[in-house]
Amino acid sequence: MGPVRAVACRFMEVRDLHPWPSTPEEAEAIQDRLRPLLELDVPGPASPRTVAGLDVSYAGDGGGTGTRLAAAVVVLDAATLDVVEESVAVGTAAFPYVPGLFAFRELPTLLDALRNLKTTPDLLVCDGFGVAHPRRFGLACHLGVLTGLPAIGVGKTAFVGTYDPPGGRRGDASPLMHGDEEVGRVLRTRDGVKPVFVSVGHRADLGSACRTVLALAPEYRLPETTRRSDRLSRDALGT
């Protein structure tokens, strides 16, 4: 029983705990039920050897249910940024787009892509947020709990929270505050370029998450993990 099973079994186990939601109320209830399973106070992967980037592309309108989509996972060697493994899965949007319930749209197809992986990555880098979420349970949290793997989120725009603009140089960061809690960090990955929003999802700490994101983004604003998975998912749609 190899790594493939480790991911697949984890998903099956959790999926059996609840039916797929058909209403926003049911979806919120699932988030509330899974949130206690989060492990947030553990030191994140200090130096992950392999890091998986996940992203989804849509064909046509990306608002409703049933839209065709492609989910891609690209595993990189964290030290060299070389591609270790790739996986793509096509499917349909499993839920309408509702801010705060975004994960339910692409989760099934993302898990399909993860299931086909032979590698068990040391860290999942998701497109979106972790605990920087209205109910502290964004996509990175959901994926982390379902797979049992350390997971973080990297968002391109703010969702919840307030912050002061970080310094203008690469590496500068400022806390993303929600109430009196630091739910994430606004991190500048390139001099003079719009920062990204990093938050923890599962089994990771914010400091390690930011260091890893910086290491993954030596040249461009977005980490190579998301750039690679974005390209792969786009290609899979044929467009």
Partner DNA sequence: GCGACAG
Partner DNA sequence: ATCTTGTCGC
**Binding residue numbers for Mg(2+):** 55, 127
Give the three-state DSSP class for 40. Answer: coil
From the list 232, 220, 131, the residue with the least C-alpha distance to 184 is 131
The residue (of 120 and 161) whose beta carbon lies closer to DNA is: 161
Q: Which of 14, 97, 171, 172 binds DNA (CB under 7 A)?
A: 97
Is 57 a residue that touches DNA (CB under 7 A)? yes
- Does 129 contact DNA by CB under 7 A? yes
> Is residue 55 within the footprint of DNA (CB under 7 A)?
yes
- Smallest distance, DNA to C-beta of residue 34, A: 13
* Cα separation, 123 vs 133, whole angstroms: 20
Q: Does 23 bind DNA (CB under 7 A)?
A: no
Provide the Cα torsion 136, 179, 100, 102; round to 10°: -60
Choose which of 75, 101, 198, 213 interacts with DNA (CB under 7 A). Answer: 101
Q: Is 155 in the site for DNA (CB under 7 A)?
A: yes
Out of 12, 17, 22, 60, the only residue in the binding site for DNA (CB under 7 A) is: 60
Instruction: Tell me how many residues contact DNA (CB under 7 A).
Output: 29
Contacting DNA (CB under 7 A), which of 56, 124, 187, 213?
56
Burial degree of 238 (CB within 10 A; 0-12, 13-18, 19+): exposed
Cα torsion 52, 57, 63, 67 to 10°: value is -110
Strand 181-187 and strand 123-127: the pairing is unpaired
Toward DNA, which CB reaches closer, 120 or 198? 198
Phi and psi at 152, nearest 5°, equal -135, 165
Q: Interface residues with DNA (CB under 7 A)? A: 55-63, 97, 99-103, 127-129, 133, 138-139, 153, 155-159, 234, 239
